[in-house]
């Protein structure tokens, strides 16, 4: 997992509330066993029309936001089923931060485990950022995990809360496997001792 300390990047406005995980990554694309390749199907039902072609009216297809790494969304983002694929799809597409007033609890956990920073701001703050991202060309935000701040260099500044353990994992780039591997030497020692004990009992 790539460490996250601070990011300055274009922001994309997704002005919708109650975006559920089936809208983030529809169920027909959950057959893959890898974590990669899901970005192509992010918001697929909104992203494409009935013929399967890209819908130019959907924000993800707007050329202004092609390099966006920060997603601004409405409240209750990623509600619905607990599929971790929603976090995989967002990360695979290139989003490293999602800003919203509220998130579904299970997604909040899944996102952190996949290197995505979730910044909960007030509805008024999110509305201001949403408006700016829609109306200001090449609108960028700076998200600092170390300082727990969101700024735009134009006067906007807000802070967000983050669990200390999740913050540590994101700063260090540690997912569940990475956390376990930090104790590899101790685990190897325990396994060797255990195997020796089993061998002695078998004699």
Provide the pairing of β-strand 97-100 with 70-73.
Answer: parallel
pLDDT at 192 over 90: no
**pLDDT tens-digit profile of 34-86?**
888 999 999 999 999 988 899 999 999 999 999 999 999 999 999 998 889 99
For residues 110 and 52, is the Cβ–Cβ distance under 8 A? Answer: no
Residues, the chain, total?
203
Q: Is 175 helix (H, G, I), strand (E, B) or coil?
A: coil
Share of the chain above pLDDT 90, in %: 77
User: How many other C-beta atoms lie within 10 A of the C-beta of residue 28?
Assistant: 10
The pLDDT of residue 196: 59
Q: Which domains does the chain have, with CATH numbers?
A: 6-172 (3.20.19.10)
Average pLDDT over residues 103-117: 94
Tokens in use for 66?
A: 């092609």
């Amino acid at each position: 997992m790539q460490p996250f300390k601070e990011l300055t990047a274009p922001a994309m406005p997704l002005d919708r509330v109650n975006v559920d995980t089936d809208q983030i990554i529809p169920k027909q694309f959950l057959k893959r066993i890898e974590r990669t390749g899901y970005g192509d199907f992010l918001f697929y039902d909104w992203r494409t029309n009935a013929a399967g072609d890209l819908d130019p009216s959907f924000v993800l297809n707007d050329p202004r936001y092609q390099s966006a790494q920060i997603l601004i969304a409405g409240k209750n983002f990623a509600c619905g089923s607990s599929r971790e694929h929603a976090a995989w799809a967002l990360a695979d597409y290139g989003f490293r931060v999602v800003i919203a007033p509220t998130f579904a609890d299970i997604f909040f956990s899944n996102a952190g485990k996949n290197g995505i920073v979730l910044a909960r701001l007030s509805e008024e703050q999110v509305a201001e950022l949403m408006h700016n991202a829609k109306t200001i060309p090449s609108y960028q935000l700076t998200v600092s995990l170390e300082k727990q701040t969101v700024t735009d260099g134009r006067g906007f500044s807000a802070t967000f809360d983050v669990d200390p353990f999740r913050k540590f994992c994101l700063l260090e780039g540690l997912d569940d496997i990475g956390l376990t591997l930090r104790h590899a030497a101790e685990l190897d020692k325990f396994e060797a001792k255990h195997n020796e004990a089993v061998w002695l009992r078998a004699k």
